[in-house]
Amino acid sequence: MTRFLLAVAVIVGASAAGAGVGVAAGAGVGVASATAGAASRGPEIVYPPARRGDHVDVYHGVRVPDPYRWMEDIDSPATRAWVQAEDRITRRFLAAIPGRQAIADRLTRLWNFERWSPPERHGRYWFYTHNDGLQNQPVIFVTSDPGVPAHVLLDPNTLSQDGTVALRETAISDDGRLFAYALSDAGSDWQTWHVRDVATGKDLPDQLLWSKAGGGSWRKDDSGFYYTRYEPPAPGNALKAANEYQKLYFHQLGTPQNEDVLTYMRRDDPDWFVDGEVTDDGHYLIIEANHGDQVENTLLVQDLSAPHAPLLPVIERPTAVFSFIGNIGKTLYVLTDDHAPRYRVIAIDLSSPGRSHWRTVIPQSAETLEAASLVGRQLIAQYLKDAHSAVRRYSARGRLLGEVNLEGMGTASGFQGHLQDAVTYYSYSSFTTPPSIYRLDLASGASSLWRQPFVGGFTPADYTERQVFYTSKDGTRVPMFVAARKGVKLDGTNPTLLYGYGGFDISLEPAFSSALAAWMQMGGVYAMANLRGGGEYGEAWHRAGMKTHKQNVFDDFIAAAEYLIAHRWTSTRRLAIWGASNGGLLVGAAEEQRPDLFAAAVPQAGVMDMLRFRDFTVGKGWESEYGSVDDPEEFRAMLAYSPVQNAKPGVHYPATLVTTADHDDRVFPAHSFKFTAALQYADPHDRPILLRVETRAGHGAGEPTSKRIAEMADIYAFVLDAMGLAH
């Protein structure tokens, strides 16, 4: 299903919000400054002046000033000058923090280990990715057998000097002969499709432009593949213009793009997203469509064996999630939360597709059924058991065959393949276990290790991860993972990073990262809260953090911080909060609502202006998650927490490092610009409030390893400095 999610990963008290807006509106223009370090209280930073305009919007009779509206013209000389001045100050500040280079060196060492993706079979070939450690982009390998050496099919590192050309999507023909791949440049979500002959390693002439956030799927006969695209934006407007009317096309191999056949689009509304997939047997085209980023979708089927066959609407209205898993003949297997908020698997016979004929194959259980695949005529069901993986195998009739044994509280993924396959591969990792790849024998259910990485200088046995549960403001029980060195003292002195997301039905699961390993090596505690708004406990958990219930997410996050402090993991002066995208919104709202609770805040690429997000790129689709300013109740809810509108003069905010990127065409960079300016204006003389802008980068997908390491070094140096621990 195509969803332009905010992912690396978003409502109350109108009177309070109104007061904040009113105070800000009456202020004048000035040069702001801040102390250069929370611990050192050194010389002041002089922030670049940000002109405060007199623009005012009126929503349902409420006047809302927008003094930084001019920053939405990100290419204007005024905006460019201000952003460049902010970034220069930030880079100087970060470079001067003691120990910053040592942190970067540590990150580089821990990042330098081999990583693989689970192999997938197509025809007589097996495909997987591999990174030797510090390569900016993973490399595609192909082999006739995963047990023998493979050769390089595509190395994206050779496509640009700085590693900013990234592989975003792949589509491999059923016989493994043709490899379609989509590249993005400089972090943009825009993709260009190419086709490579696997045997020769050479590209065919085909090139398809203006695709975004959609995969590809080949017809069985290799004649061509389906993909999604938009109309080309106006020149110079590619990173800002609203993306409307996504279309599913069929590209006939060897023909120009302007001859591609439009297969499906929704003409009734510009905000529908569409996706197409050819079934494993090549018999059907399955189309899923969803309005904006709502999880509910329609499902249509076209019989590809019959020329000019119509599209059959199996699910005509988006009343629930209906995610296609696979088919055996005319029977479709579908993952759904229809009458099952924690999901079930149903079988739909295309001979009698009506609801009364649906058959439950895997019923809803106590755990959330996160995903399922149909491999070797088995259904492999991936569950979330209190936000960590459990995997079970079922027959196609729903008989339990056994459980896949996992090592502990971690995350398993992969399990892809075809009906005739005898094996499949999967990845498993946890906060303290680097991602290992396993081969699963479908007949016996036994797993065997295929690849296991070695991270030099990191000993997993020296660290521990645990799951705790705490109570949120309204009494809801919320899980949280905590990872640290073994034997860590609960004396309130530990530098602690609290991470969260809480939105779009996205679940946060325990997984290894070099950045986390470095933080724990330095004595840090890492906490990850599984907030409402995510998918950890199914759709009810998601809806509890949507639209007018969004304040629950912030309450959950604040309660997580209070738990860590109350249980002596840390203290306010040693606690930093961090989140990206929708999680950036979370951090911005939390630090404004409880500025007393945190030493530092790092909102990355956040949605910071809740009244304006729908006006840029794919933002209109997020109304299904956040709400719309056209609705009076939803408007009041968003205004109450929107970070740009709730920066209040006279409040002392935590040290804040706002990050964004110049090619982020998912969350428009002006969100971060306006938030930084508003926070600097509100609190100009206290702890540093800085803006870091990455160049030739986007929303995070495909970001080169070198840039990731540099950004994490800056984040860690900044929060340690704010805690008084930089040395």
The verdict on 198 and 104 lying in the same domain is no
Most confident of 3-17, 140-154, 661-675: 140-154
Is the residue at 133 inside a domain? Answer: yes
Give me the pLDDT at residue 517, please.
97
- 251, 283, 663, 699: the catalytic one is 699
Mean pLDDT on 323-334? 98
What kind and span of H or E run contains 707? helix 705-722
Mean pLDDT on 320-327? 97
Give me the pLDDT at residue 94, please.
97
Give me the pLDDT at residue 369, please.
98
The verdict on 473 and 492 lying in the same domain is yes
Is the residue at 689 inside a domain? Answer: yes
Give me the pLDDT at residue 487, please.
95
For the ranges 184-198, 217-231, 532-546, the lowest mean pLDDT is seen at 184-198
- Which of 263, 278, 293 is the last residue in one of the domains? 278
Position 419 confidence tier, pLDDT thresholds 50, 70, 90: very high
Q: Using the structure block, give the residue that is written with the tokens 């502990």.
A: 408
Residue 21 confidence (pLDDT) above 70: no
Q: Using the structure block, give the residue that is written with the tokens 């036994």.
A: 446
- 581, 624, 642, 672: the catalytic one is 581
Phi, then psi, of 406 in degrees rounded to 5 = -110, 160
- Tell me if residue 581 is catalytic: yes
Is the residue at 131 inside a domain? Answer: yes
Give me the pLDDT at residue 204, please.
98
Mean pLDDT on 178-189? 88
310: tokens are 């119509």
Mean pLDDT on 503-532? 97
Give me the pLDDT at residue 43, please.
63
pLDDT in tens, 56-105: 999 999 999 999 999 999 889 999 999 999 999 999 999 999 999 999 99
Q: Give the CATH number for residue 160.
A: 2.130.10.120
Is the residue at 178 inside a domain? Answer: yes
Position 293 confidence tier, pLDDT thresholds 50, 70, 90: confident
CA dist 264 and 288 (Å) reads 10
Spatial CB neighbours of 674, under 8 Å, sequence gap ≥ 6? 68, 71, 72, 608, 609, 644
Q: Give the CATH number for residue 713.
A: 3.40.50.1820
Order of strands, edge to edge, in the sheet holding 217-218? 217-218, 224-229, 247-252, 261-264
Q: Which residues pair with 485 in a beta bridge?
A: 463
Is the residue at 477 inside a domain? Answer: yes
Position 631 confidence tier, pLDDT thresholds 50, 70, 90: very high
CA dist 292 and 618 (Å) reads 9
Mean pLDDT on 405-419? 95
pLDDT in tens, 482-503: 999 999 999 999 999 999 999 9
The verdict on 94 and 192 lying in the same domain is no
Give the mean pLDDT of the chain: 91
> Angle at Cα 385 formed by Cα 379 and Cα 391, nearest 5°?
25
Is the residue at 13 inside a domain? Answer: no
Mean pLDDT on 409-430? 97
52: tokens are 């405060």
Is the residue at 620 inside a domain? Answer: no
Q: Which residues pair with 347 in a beta bridge?
A: 333, 359
- Tell me if residue 122 is catalytic: no
For the ranges 211-215, 434-438, 719-723, the lowest mean pLDDT is seen at 211-215
The verdict on 89 and 178 lying in the same domain is no
Give me the pLDDT at residue 17, please.
26
- The count of domains in the chain is 2
What kind and span of H or E run contains 620? none
Residue 30 confidence (pLDDT) above 50: no
The verdict on 48 and 189 lying in the same domain is no
Mean pLDDT on 182-186? 88
Q: Which residues pair with 379 in a beta bridge?
A: 374, 394
Buried/exposed code over 409-446 (b: 16+ C-beta within 10 A; e: otherwise): bbbbbbbbbbbeeebbbbbbbbbbbbbbbbbbebeeee
Provide the greatest CA pair distance for the chain: 76
- When comparing pLDDT for 664 and 479, which is higher? 479
The verdict on 674 and 655 lying in the same domain is yes
The verdict on 125 and 90 lying in the same domain is no
CA dist 260 and 247 (Å) reads 11
Position 166 confidence tier, pLDDT thresholds 50, 70, 90: confident
Position 39 confidence tier, pLDDT thresholds 50, 70, 90: very low
The verdict on 93 and 151 lying in the same domain is no
Give me the pLDDT at residue 29, please.
28
The verdict on 550 and 677 lying in the same domain is yes
Q: Is the dihedral of CA 154, 160, 166, 169 positive or negative?
A: negative
Mean pLDDT on 403-407? 94
92: tokens are 């100087």
Q: Which domain holds residue 655?
A: 34-52+85-108+457-607+649-722
The verdict on 140 and 217 lying in the same domain is yes
The verdict on 96 and 192 lying in the same domain is no
Give me the pLDDT at residue 27, please.
27
Mean pLDDT on 196-210? 97
Say if residue 562 is exposed, middle or buried (CB neighbours under 10 Å; 0-12, 13-18, 19+).
middle
- Which of 226, 261, 278 is the last residue in one of the domains? 278
725: tokens are 């621990």
Give me the pLDDT at residue 295, please.
87
Q: Using the structure block, give the residue that is written with the tokens 């996706």.
A: 275
Position 666 confidence tier, pLDDT thresholds 50, 70, 90: confident
Is the residue at 500 inside a domain? Answer: yes
pLDDT in tens, 335-390: 999 999 999 999 999 999 999 999 999 999 999 999 999 999 999 999 999 999 99
Give me the pLDDT at residue 42, please.
52
Buried/exposed code over 299-308 (b: 16+ C-beta within 10 A; e: otherwise): bbbbebeeee
The verdict on 660 and 699 lying in the same domain is yes
